[in-house]
């Protein structure tokens, strides 16, 4: 300890040991600390001048304590700290330490000078009970004690997630666990592409590729199972998902939905068995989102009953076409139909690319896109057509055809309606992609949450290290994303059901819903996987832990099947159309009802009590949450409509008006989609009969709702819909929900039942 004859003669000096240890604990004394300590020691009137000089040598930066001396201080303090009580101080420890070395009078003497000693402790800014913990072993705190619990039956929650597709999901997961589906490294591009093709063949042999096709063409007529298969495959390899989707979805479904019986009979069975690999050739170098502007032409020659498919310039080439570089033998090609020099708009045609031996057909030129940021198991290519001749029957003629006289014919008179009806039949791609992206989010969250539950870092002084998932910041990073993923799962199930049971008059709404959910879900996937990578630190950066490949493979999801920002504007335009129609069809009574409803909102939701209400029961009330989302949705839609009308009324061209309001329109789309997601999550919670599952789903639903409100709190404050006291309470509640959901987080990811062979991350796999 304080090695000096002075101390032996006066053990009272040991009272300073806990203070000295604490000030030296970070191994450095700053000039201001030295100055403060010198002044405080000098003010201790009970010390002799010799004792004071001796003590000042113990705070001399030029003569820091040796390792041996420092450790002896700690050992001595620990001996008297074991019996510490709550609220103990460094002065108390010092008095007890001095008493051990002296007689009973030492304690009495030091008690007299306790106030001046306490002044030293206070002036140095020590939090006494925290400093005392430095010397205690086995310290426990609320943070260190938090852990994973089993508050609900994982199998029951899995049944809720899988719904009526549980059996096909189980079969596909079992299939993916077979050793034939062992991962291959993406380094060898040729090997990787061949393996992905082989995996697709394995799936086709099981009938999974043709699942959605009618029974008479080798399928099961089960579109619902097809979507479930696509989502489940996403737990394995996203290149497989896209290859599978291009072959059996885009290529096969375009033939099915855009063609007629002659095409179905000729092609569908071979497509479903992968005897006829094919492509979906819509996107051009100069035209991605604007399909109506594509430049590839299909010129009809009535004398030969043929079409000539042609790429008129370099920028009209078909680009980024899946299956094109290596395996595709045919393609559905979207081109402008030209008859007698008249452009009849975009139609679809089946065009041969190469024979079964891989030799390109005359007039077809294909370049390999090569290695990409991700999805390197898919052979994307660029296709040029040089007046490729195809027979008249190769036109997919459900919505447009050439009649016996060589004239254009269509059951839909309007060019615009025909075009959007044709594209609307292909909306299934905007259902499969977000479901696939959400599955990738589930994989990333499972890896990150399992790792966070196991990985220990830091901890309270005197205690053991703590799982990083116990830290509030870590919870705030991952728990809202887990809630988003659950919310999107149920919303995408709703979208799938709407699409499968669609009616013609509902298609515009379903297309907008699909576009919006595709955007929201894939943006969420990108954000989720980035956060998961960061939450796993360096381990997340290692390829072996799979977040890298999940990030890279899913990144394209935000722009294919439609650029997300463009799609959100499509959603907004659909909402504006409905808004206009709603008012156009209103009579005087419905207008009065609408005005009354708006007034009711003003009275009930925006009165001084409600805008400041911070009660927990209020914040967790689904009616409050949904009303807040609905108000935001309606207000943004109304203000966008007014803004557009104001610009157009002032003489601005409608194209320019929409351009000026683009950011506003994206917010219209987001507000609508957020409301739908919450609405469907609330409905799921209400219809869940298992009490334990219902409790945890309610927490996730609350977290989703309040996280979105917290994200948009600036808007709510601007509108006067909430006051600062309420948005602060919402932020606190988000923190509390993250804390509570943490204990359920691992079981919540277990409920996804991702096969361990698919998860395959060493930091997360259970043996």
How would residue 662 be classed by pLDDT, with cut points 50, 70 and 90? confident
Using CB atoms within 10 A of its CB, is residue 251 exposed (0-12), middle (13-18) or buried (19+)? buried
pLDDT of residue 663 exceeding 70: yes
What 3-state DSSP class applies to 331?
strand
Q: Residue 267: CB partners within 8 Å, gap ≥ 6?
A: 255, 259, 276, 330, 350
pLDDT level of residue 20 (50, 70, 90 thresholds): confident
Interval 142-167 mean pLDDT: 87
Split at pLDDT 50, 70, 90, the class of 592 is very low
Burial grade of 501 (CB within 10 A; 0-12, 13-18, 19 or more): exposed
Total number of residues shown for the chain: 767
Residue with tokens 């089993």: 150
Instruction: Give the model's confidence band at 5: pLDDT under 50 very low, under 70 low, under 90 confident, else very high.
Output: low
3-state secondary structure 573-592: HHHHHHHHHHHHCCCHHHHH
What is the predicted pLDDT for the residue at 586?
A: 45
Which pLDDT does position 591 carry in this prediction? 43
Burial class (CB in 10 A: 0-12, 13-18, 19+), 537: middle
Q: What is the mean pLDDT of the chain?
A: 88
- 3-state class (DSSP) for residue 232: helix
Q: Which two tokens stand for residue 522?
A: 């894939």
- Contact of 96 with 28, CB cutoff 8 Å: no
User: pLDDT digit string (tens) for 602-649?
Assistant: 555 666 677 888 899 999 999 999 999 999 999 898 888 888 888 888
| pLDDT tens by residue, 173-202 | 999 999 999 998 888 999 999 999 999 999
Rounded CA-CA distance 402/407 in Å is 5
Q: 104, 84 in Cβ contact below 8 A? A: no
Does residue 657 register a pLDDT over 70?
Answer: yes
For residues 229-242, give the mean pLDDT.
97
Query: In the prediction, which pLDDT does 17 show?
Result: 81
With vertex at residue 195, the alpha carbon angle to CA 192 and CA 196, rounded to the nearest 5 degrees, is 85
pLDDT of 710 higher than 50: yes
Mean per-residue pLDDT, 14-18: 80
pLDDT digits (tens, 9 = 90+) for 397-413: 999 999 999 999 999 87
Fold of 430-759: Butyryl-CoA Dehydrogenase, subunit A; domain 3 (1.20.140)
The residue-averaged pLDDT of 422-441 equals 89
User: What pTM did the predictor assign?
Assistant: 0.84
pLDDT at 127: 56
pLDDT at 53: 85
User: How far out from the chain centre does Cα 260 lie?
Assistant: 39
Mean pLDDT of 287-314: 92
Chain segment 84-114, per-residue pLDDT in tens: 655 677 777 777 877 777 666 677 767 777 7
pLDDT, residue 301, reads 95
Does the pLDDT value for residue 130 go beyond 90? no
User: What percent of the chain is modeled with pLDDT above 70?
Assistant: 89
Cα–Cα distances in angstroms (integers) from residue 217 to residues 51, 220, 397, 557, in the given order = 101, 9, 19, 31
**Confidence (pLDDT) at 425:** 67
At 490 the pLDDT is 98
Burial-class residue 313 by CB neighbours within 10 Å (0-12, 13-18, 19+): exposed
Neighbouring-strand partners of residue 306: 301, 391
In the predicted model, what is the mean pLDDT of residues 14-31? 78
CB 709 within 8 A of CB 625: yes
pLDDT the model gives residue 588: 44
Residue 459, pLDDT above cutoff 50: yes
Per-residue pLDDT of 666-705, as tens digits, reads 999 999 999 999 999 999 999 999 999 999 999 999 999 9
Contact 322, 280 (CB under 8 A): yes
Q: Is it the case that residue 551 has pLDDT exceeding 90?
A: yes
- Ranges of each domain in the chain: 5-136, 178-426, 430-759
Predicted local confidence at residue 594, as pLDDT: 46
CB atoms inside a 10 Å sphere around CB 70: 16
The CATH number that domain 178-426 falls under is 2.40.110.10
| Both tokens assigned to 66 | 């040796």
Q: pLDDT tens digits, residue range 499-531?
A: 999 888 888 899 999 999 999 999 999 999 999
Q: Which among 524, 553, 493 has a CA at the least distance from the CA of 235? A: 553
At residue 211, the pLDDT reads: 95
Supply the pLDDT for residue 766.
80
Of 754, 753, 743, nearest to 155 (Cα)?
753
Q: Is the confidence at residue 347, as pLDDT, over 50?
A: yes
């Amino acid at each position: 300890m304080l090695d000096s004859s002075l101390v032996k003669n006066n053990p009272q000096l040991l009272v300073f040991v806990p203070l000295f240890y604490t000030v030296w604990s970070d191994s450095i004394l700053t000039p201001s600390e030295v100055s403060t300590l010198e002044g405080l020691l000098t003010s201790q009137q009970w010390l002799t001048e010799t004792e004071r000089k001796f003590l000042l040598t113990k705070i001399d930066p030029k003569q820091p304590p040796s390792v041996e001396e420092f450790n002896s201080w700690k050992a001595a303090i620990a001996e008297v700290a074991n019996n510490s009580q709550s609220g103990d101080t460094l002065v108390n420890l010092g008095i007890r330490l001095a008493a051990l070395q002296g007689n009973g009078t030492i304690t009495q003497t030091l008690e007299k000078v306790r106030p001046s000693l306490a002044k030293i402790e206070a002036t140095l800014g020590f939090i006494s009970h925290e400093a005392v913990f430095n010397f205690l072993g086995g310290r426990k705190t609320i943070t260190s004690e938090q852990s994973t619990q089993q508050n609900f039956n994982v199998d029951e929650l899995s049944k809720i997630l899988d719904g009526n597709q549980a059996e096909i999901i189980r079969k596909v997961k079992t299939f993916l666990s077979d050793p034939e589906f062992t991962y291959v490294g993406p380094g060898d591009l040729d090997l990787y592409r061949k393996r992905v093709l082989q995996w697709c063949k394995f799936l086709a042999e099981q009938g999974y590729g043709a699942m959605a096709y009618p029974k008479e063409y080798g399928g099961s007529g089960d579109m619902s199972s097809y979507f479930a298969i696509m989502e489940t495959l996403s737990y394995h390899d996203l290149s497989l998902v896209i290859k599978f989707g291009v072959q059996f979805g885009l290529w096969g479904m375009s033939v099915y939905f855009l063609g007629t019986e002659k095409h179905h009979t000729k092609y569908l069975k071979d497509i479903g068995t992968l005897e006829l690999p094919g492509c979906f050739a819509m996107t051009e170098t100069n035209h991605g989102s604007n399909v109506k502007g594509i430049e590839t032409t299909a010129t009809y020659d009535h004398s030969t009953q043929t079409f000539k498919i042609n790429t008129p310039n370099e920028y009209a080439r078909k680009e980024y076409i899946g299956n094109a570089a290596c395996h595709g033998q045919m393609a559905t090609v979207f081109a402008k139909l030209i008859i007698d020099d008249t452009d009849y708009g975009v139609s679809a045609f089946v065009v041969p690319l190469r024979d079964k031996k891989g030799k390109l057909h005359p007039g077809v030129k294909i370049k390999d896109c090569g290695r990409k940021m991700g999805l390197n198991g898919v052979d994307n290519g660029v296709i040029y057509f040089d007046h490729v001749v195809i027979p008249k029957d190769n036109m997919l003629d459900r919505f447009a055809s050439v009649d016996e006289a060589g004239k254009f014919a269509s059951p839909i008179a309007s060019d615009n309606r025909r075009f959007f009806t044709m594209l609307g039949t292909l909306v299934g791609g905007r259902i499969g992609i977000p479901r696939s992206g959400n599955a990738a989010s589930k994989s990333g969250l499972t890896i990150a949450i399992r790792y966070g539950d196991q990985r220990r870092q830091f901890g309270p002084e005197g205690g053991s290290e703590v799982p990083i998932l116990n830290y509030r910041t870590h919870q705030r990073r991952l728990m809202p994303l887990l809630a988003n993923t659950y919310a999107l799962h149920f919303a995408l199930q709703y979208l799938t059901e709407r699409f499968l049971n669609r009616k013609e008059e509902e298609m515009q709404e379903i297309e907008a819903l699909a576009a919006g959910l595709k955007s929201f879900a894939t943006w969420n996937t990108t954000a989720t996987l980035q956060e998961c990578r960061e939450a796993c630190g360096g381990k997340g950066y290692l390829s072996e832990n799979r977040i890298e490949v999940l990030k890279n493979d899913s990144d394209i999801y935000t722009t294919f099947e439609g650029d997300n920002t463009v799609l959100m504007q499509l959603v907004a335009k659909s909402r504006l159309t409905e808004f206009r129609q709603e008012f156009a069809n209103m009579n005087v009574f419905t207008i009065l009802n609408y005005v009354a409803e708006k007034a009711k909102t003003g009275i009930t939701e925006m009165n001084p009590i409600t805008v400041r209400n911070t009660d927990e029961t209020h914040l967790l009330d689904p009616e409050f949450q949904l009303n807040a989302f609905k108000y935001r949705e309606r207000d943004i839609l109304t203000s966008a409509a007014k803004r557009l009308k104001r610009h157009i009324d002032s003489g601005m061209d409608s194209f320019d008006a929409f351009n000026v309001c683009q950011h506003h329109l994206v917010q219209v789309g987001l507000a609508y989609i957020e409301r739908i997601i919450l609405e469907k999550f609330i409905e799921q919670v209400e219809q869940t009969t298992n009490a334990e599952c219902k409790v945890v789903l309610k927490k996730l639903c609350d977290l989703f709702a309040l996280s979105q409100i917290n994200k948009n709190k600036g808007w709510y404050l601007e509108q006067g819909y909430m006051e600062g006291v309420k948005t602060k309470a919402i932020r606190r509640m988000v923190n509390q929900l993250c804390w509570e959901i943490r204990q359920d987080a691992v079981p919540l990811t277990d409920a996804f039942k991702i096969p361990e062979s698919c998860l395959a991350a060493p930091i997360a796999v259970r043996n």
